[in-house]
Chain A
Amino acid sequence: LAKTTQPISMDSYEGQEVNITCSHNNIATNDYITWYQQFPSQGPRFIIQGYKTKVTNEVASLFIPADRKSSTLSLPRVSLSDTAVYYCLVGRRADSGGGADGLTFGKGTHLIIQP
């Protein structure tokens, strides 16, 4: 199972771009990288997923270098409402034989946005 390492906390200011990096040195060929966001007193929410290069949606971008040993979640022009915990998960999809192994969310990165 690919282990992930993220910063415990980060802070930034409204209007800035925030980049959160996740290290996953032993990522496997079939593994995808998935990010979730958790607001206080709520369950985690899927933000974005990628396999390689760059993925962008209405919420964030995900940059994955060619060696895939790390990934960076980029939040453009953050606001106070982006204050949350962000989790990076690495693992297979079901069509690659995925199962329940590795279904654990680590401590994540606590992002605090200040005015």
Chain B
Amino acid sequence: NAGVTQTPKFRILKIGQSMTLQCTQDMNHNYMYWYRQDPGMGLKLIYYSVGAGITDKGEVPNGYNVSRSTTEDFPLRLELAAPSQTSVYFCASSLRLAVGETQYFGPGTRLLVL
């Protein structure tokens, strides 16, 4: 049971480039999330999904897109990278949707936009 896995671990992008951050979970969780964590700060919700084909915006969705074609995968797309998107990105999953439900996090993807 690998839990939540993310690739890549680290990436440098030039301004205007695009990339997809991959996230996969093997716990058969319906609910998946993308967060970003800026240096010295907490985690902010970008997007979340309640199941295959259903996604919704979180607190900071601008500049990102998501899709959910399977239960296991929840990729995050950056179309036109900007320096403000330099951050660490965490994917998470949970069995149920609520603040009081346990979330399982991946190891993160560190992104630097120059």
Contacts and interface: CB of A to CB of B under 8 A. Distances in A.
A-B residue pairs, 8 tightest by C-beta: A98-B98, A91-B99, A43-B105, A94-B96, A93-B100, A32-B100, A105-B43, A105-B42
A106 B42 CA distance: 5
A96 interface: yes
Contact of B105 (A44, A99, A104): A44
B108 A43 contact: yes
Interface residues on B, range: 20 to 34
B35 A92 contact: no
Contact of B43 (A96, A102, A104): A104
Chain A interface residue bracket vs B: 20 to 34
Given A46-B102, A91-B100, A94-B96, 18 more contacts: A32-B100, A34-B99, A41-B107, A42-B105, A42-B108, A43-B4, A43-B107, A44-B90, A44-B103, A45-B105, A92-B99, A98-B96, A99-B97, A100-B48, A103-B33, A104-B59, A105-B42, A107-B42
Contacts of B97: 94, 98-100
Contacts of B99: 34, 89-92, 98, 101-103
A4 to B, nearest CB: 11
Given A96-B98, A98-B98, A100-B97, A107 B41 contact: yes
Contact of B96 (A45, A90, A93, A108): A93
B92 to A, nearest CB: 7
A100 B58 CA distance: 8
A101 B59 CA distance: 9
Interface string A18-44: 000000000000011010000001111
A41 to B, nearest CB: 7
B106 to A, nearest CB: 6
